[in-house]
Amino acid sequence: MAENKPIGTVLVAGAGISGIKAAIELAETGYKVLLTDSSTQVGGILAKLDYQFPSDHCGMCRMLPMVGREYSSEYCMRKSLYHENIEILPFTEVVSVAGDAGKYKVELKKRARYVNSEVCNELGKCIEACPVETADEFNHGLTTRKAIYKSVPHNVPQLLLIDKSVCTECGECVKVCSTGAINLHAQDEVETREVHAIVLASGVKLYNTKEYEDAKSYAVSPDVVTSLAFERMLSGTGTYRDGIIKRPSDGKPAKKIAWIQCMGSRNKRQNRDYCSSVCCMFALKEAVLAKEKGGDDVETTIFYMDMRTFGKGFQQYRANAEEEHGVRLVRCRVQEVVREPDGNLRIRYFDPETNEFQIAHYDIVVMSTGQIPFDDHRKWAELVNGELSPTGLLATEKYSKVRLAGKQGIFMCGSLMGLTDISEAMASGIAAAGEATSFLNAIGTDKVSFEDIAEPVTDDRQLPKAAVLLCKCGEFAGAEGIDLDMIKTEVMKHRGVGTVHVVNSICSEEGQKEALDVLKKAKCNRLLIGACQPFMYRRKVRDIAKKAGYNSSLVQIFDLLGIARRGTEEASKLAWTRRTINEIKADLESIKQKPALHVQSVPINPTALVVGGGIGGMHSALSLANRGIPVHIVEKSGELGGFAGNQIAATVDGLKPMTMAKDLKLKVFEHNKITVHLNSQVTKTEGTLGAFESKIVSSGTDQKTYLHHGAVIMATGGHEGQTDEYGYGQSDRIVTQFQFKQQLESGAIDLSAVENVVMIQCVGSREAGKREYCSRICCMWAVANALKIKEMNPDVRVYVLYRDIMTYGFLEQYYTKARAAGVIFVNYDLNSKPQVEIADGMPVMRFTENILNTEVEISPDYLVLSTGVDPETSNTELAEAFSLPLNNDGFFSEADSKWRPIEFKQIGSFLAGVSHSPMPLPDVIMQAEAAAQKAYTYLSGGSINTARVISTVKDALCIRCQRCIAACPFEARSYNAAEHRIEVDPAGCQGCGMCAVACRNNAAEVSGWSDKQMMSVIDAKLADDLQPSTAS
């Protein structure tokens, strides 16, 4: 390994979920990350959401690494994040960015918190003492807080801070603070750091009633709230109590709740000609939750323009919300909300069901507020000297959603790209990390490397004997905090302790040398280490221990300074010391009872198999090959490029897929790390974790090839759907949207002779028993073709019959443009589908025009059907060959629809693009990049470790009642009928311990967490037998 290469370092600006995901991916790959957030906390918007659809639960922790769990600290993500390669800097702003590609100097301003979290005991006496009360922004002003406060109610550790904008500097908090943690005169600190790459993940500002005039006609009462504020009304750490959703004005239970969609979005007059993409699903989820949390008698109504359920599983969620939960959807733009004298909120709306105006009253009106992105984009453009697109957004490289145009080494992800749902935030975070990794690789930076120290062999028959190592942390702990001498004396008396040693500073090289020396001489077999920030040094400390002959599983590290302070009422050196001794004894008991656990290192074949040679597949392959990973592409047709790369010349937003595919093909064929197998299919895959063998059969021949690989990326794509509805096949004037596009482009249609064109959307889609999903791209295709017609002959009347126009995000502008160009959009629903008859070989149409509510009969020259996107037919055989799951629609099922969209539950298997669900090309490419990154992190390590902490079965005790199987949330347990025993899949088990709870007699046990051990710990904690006489 070259000595002089610097460790690749990346600034991730913004610690919402996409930033966190990018940071974790980079850190897992071996790079250093500075993760900043301008707010006081990490977690972004998601820190406020207790529940997310489709499961209506949290699940944020699912974004943590699933393999190599031994080396990352895994905690509830809504509480905090720890990783040894990530430096977290909340309340920090990026002030300036200087330098060029690969050599950026960033100036960071750490804002003063006025409370030193190193000494704060988090008991909150200061909060009680503070006389200043102000609105709590975490709960959107629904509750109040003090000037000194905890910014997120559920964070661990709790970092208190003072809001200087309301603080009167009365000094009450300083008086009651027994630890001297408060400094009212603390200053902001500015520091300059050097980084090689930057990921912008700051999210965007949200529309609000304070700043924007057009919100005023709605925000007439405190009971009109934003969707995020409503989220806090459903949370136990917000205002939700005892099954009551409280109306903010008077605290009464809210029983009638309305949502108004598109607040601040889809408004050209206000220069906001975009859709905010996530609000429809957000409102549906909130409406379902409102019923569940507020009682069955809660009535929920969503007033919407188009219900944009374009993502995977969204349509089913909508159907479920309507059918199972009785959420009412009304297609109508509400113009205003009026507050009645009794406080109720009146909404007048046009009811499309009755074709009449109606008046309804509500307890709460929720405004589904969207994004206000331009300020943030302008700010970043100025900071990084980036380019702005004509729309006013940071320009990205063509086809890329994450690479900033002309700015090498700067990427973006998450809601800065336009509001994203969780899965897109995840995919974009991974993709940005992937691009950054490729970049760091290309400019020649190094990864954090670790010595590979062999795990010492242990002798289980030896009596447990523990060494205790305490770090003085300079002089600080000894002088001001705890009495290390007393700890040493007392702990030495504890049975089974071999030595207690105090080092000056274990994070220094000198301290480490000293520790190694002491540990070698001590001849113990257990090790307990007390130091500050134990999460940060885990690996380093374990390595020292290994060198000294201590098995990693028998090393425990604890927070020496924090353990005593947090929650200790009495702030005296003696109290802290006694508490520390007690905790050390408990830890000693735990470690004494622990058996040595062993990790298996499983070698991985660092080769990837990409199934599908479309644009996505080729992108993944190149991304991996460019980083040195050998790749096989298996393509069932005789040509790379897939549907888009071989058939689509141009898209409405100016992309040229065929040109791009040509370029990619060239690169793929030229690359010496990529092997292409055309006319080939995978028929069988066998093997174990990290070492698979796939059988490839060439079509039309008997030729069989066996490929060996450690990872697989499914990039199978899809194709245009088939239909027999609306007279398709009975007239050559009835064509699919794609056929029409081709005929338009080839000049096969003479538009000068055409009067009417009718397009029908959602043909055989979003309908029970057919394609039950939205194909996401058909609306854009219709808009593009309609615009094309109008461009070529403005006199052609174009009708688009639609159910919901799915021009989400900034695609909305093309929809606006089409309407401005005179394209007529007519809404229909499943109960009133358009009627088509054939007369003289030509289609004759009847449908209801919904504004005038009249029946229209038209004989179009062309009837164009948007037939949706079908999954690749070979998915079924591939799913079987690879043992990967498909959903009901025939697309592959990812591990978790929100938090793990790019990977399968089966470790080492990933998916990208249309094999996941229909999506436009830039999203395919983003997922392809993300899948490549996931595969890269996994493959580049060379081996993976099985988890140390997994559950086990003691056959002699097991009665085979199989309760553990039912209780396992990871399906890692099974009953082997032939051998009549319970089996655990060590790769699937995540060590959660549900089986151990279900099991009565410890036949199921999580290794290293035995009852015996826990009882000893409890005993030790309860004992507190340190007599005051010895303590004084």
Partner 1 sequence: MAKFSKLAFNKGELNNQLSAFFADLLEKNAVDALLAPMAQPKKGVMQTLVTSKQNLSGVDPFAPVVPVNGARLASSLTSNPSGKKIGMVLRSCEVRALVELVKLKQANLEDVVLIGLDCYGRYENTDFLKLRAAGATTEDFLENAQAGKTETDGCDVAGACKICEFPTTDNVDIRLCIFGAGQGTLLIEAVTEKGEEALQTAGRKFGDSPAGRAEAVKKITDARVAAKNAAFAEYRNSTNTFDALNERLAACINCYNCRVACPVCYCKECVFVTDTFRHKGEQYIGWASGKALKMPADTTFYHMTRITHIAAFCVGCGQCTSACPNDIDLMPIFRTSAEKAQGRFEYLAGRSLDEPQPLSIFDHDELVEVTGQVK
Candidates 968, 984, 989, 1004; binder of partner 1 (CB under 8 A) is 968
Select 109 or 325, whichever has its Cβ closest to partner 1.
325
Q: Report d(CA 353, CA 328) in Å as an integer.
A: 12
Q: Is 829 in the site for partner 1 (CB under 8 A)?
A: no
Q: Which is nearer to partner 1, 229 or 610 (CB)?
A: 229
Choices 301-309, 450-458, 795-803, 1016-1024 (CB under 8 A): range interacting with partner 1: 1016-1024
User: Which residue reads 């702030």 in tokens?
Assistant: 571
Q: Which of residues 233-262 bind partner 1 (CB under 8 A)?
A: 234, 236
Q: Is 969 in the site for partner 1 (CB under 8 A)?
A: yes
Part of the chain binding partner 1 (CB under 8 A), chosen from 261-269, 614-622, 817-825, 1015-1023: 1015-1023
Question: By three-state DSSP, how is residue 996 classified?
Answer: helix
Find the binding residues for partner 1 in span 493-532 (CB under 8 A): 495
Q: Is 413 in the site for partner 1 (CB under 8 A)?
A: no
996-1004 long-range contacts, Cβ below 8 Å, gap at least 24?
Answer: 996/951, 997/967, 998/963, 998/964, 998/966, 998/967, 999/963, 999/964, 1001/957, 1001/959, 1002/954, 1002/957, 1003/953, 1003/954, 1003/955, 1003/957, 1003/958, 1003/959, 1004/951, 1004/952, 1004/953, 1004/954, 1004/958, 1004/964
Per CB under 8 A, the list member of 395, 691, 967, 1026 interacting with partner 1 is 967
Min dist. Cβ of residue 501 to partner 1 (A) = 24
Q: Which range, of 156-164, 682-690, 832-840, 1010-1018, touches partner 1 by CB under 8 A?
A: 1010-1018
Q: How far is the CB of 958 from partner 1 (least distance, A)?
A: 7
Give the whole-angstrom CA distance, residue 666 versus residue 660: 10
In contact, 421 and 49? CB cutoff 8 Å: no
Number of residues in contact with partner 1, rule: CB under 8 A? Answer: 39
**Judged by CB under 8 A, which of 493, 961, 985, 1030 binds partner 1?**
961
Asked if 899 is part of the footprint of partner 1 (rule: CB under 8 A), the reply reads: no
Q: Which is nearer to partner 1, 132 or 229 (CB)?
A: 229
β-sheet bridge partners, residue 611: 634, 714
* Sign of torsion over alpha carbons 703, 709, 714, 715: negative
Judged by CB under 8 A, the residue of 359, 851, 956, 977 near partner 1 is 956
CB of 231 to partner 1, least distance (A): 12
Count of beta carbons in the 10 Å neighbourhood of residue 193: 15
Q: 3-state SS string over 264-278?
A: CCCECCCCECCCCCC
Q: What would the DSSP string read from start to end of 685-740? A: EEEETTEEEEEEEETTS--EEEEEESEEEE---EEEPP---TTTTS-TTEEEHHHH
**421: nearest Cα among 903, 922, 897, 905:** 897
Contacts of 314 (CB under 8 A, 6+ apart): 281, 773, 774
Looking at the Cβ atoms of 78 and 403, the one nearer to partner 1 is 78
Is 1026 one of the binding residues for partner 1 (CB under 8 A)?
no
Nearer to partner 1, 321 or 779 (CB): 321
CB 199 within 8 A of CB 436: yes
Nearest partner of 560 among 528, 538, 532, judged by Cα: 532
The verdict on 1011 binding partner 1 (CB under 8 A) reads yes
Rounded CA-CA distance 77/64 in Å is: 8
Between 492 and 961, whose beta carbon lies closer to partner 1?
A: 961
Decide whether 25 or 587 has the Cβ nearer to partner 1.
Answer: 587
Bridge partners (DSSP) of residue 527 are 467, 555
Tell me if 21 contacts partner 1 by CB under 8 A.
no
- The piece of 103-111, 285-293, 853-861, 942-950 that touches partner 1 (CB under 8 A) is 285-293
Segment 91-120, which members bind partner 1 (CB under 8 A)? none
| Cα–Cα distance for residue pair 947/334, rounded to 1 Å | 55
Residue 585 CB, nearest approach to partner 1 (Å): 10
Stretch that binds partner 1, among 444-452, 710-718, 931-939, 1019-1027 (CB under 8 A): 1019-1027
Q: Considering the rule CB under 8 A, would residue 722 count as an interface residue with partner 1?
A: no
Listed in sequence order, the residues at least 6 apart from 386 whose beta carbon sits closer than 8 Å to its beta carbon are 380, 394, 395, 404, 405, 406, 407, 410
Q: Residue 244 CB, nearest distance to partner 1 (Å)?
A: 13
- Is 994 among the residues that bind partner 1 (CB under 8 A)? yes
Let me know: does 610 contact 620? Beta carbons within 8 Å: yes
Q: Which pairing describes strands 466-471 and 951-953: parallel, antiparallel, or unpaired?
A: unpaired
Options 48-56, 679-687, 706-714, 801-809: segment touching partner 1 (CB under 8 A): 48-56
460 in contact with partner 1 (CB under 8 A)? no
Sites of contact with partner 1 (CB under 8 A): 50-51, 55-58, 234, 236, 289, 292-293, 495, 956-963, 966-969, 994, 997-998, 1000-1003, 1010-1012, 1015-1016, 1019, 1023, 1025
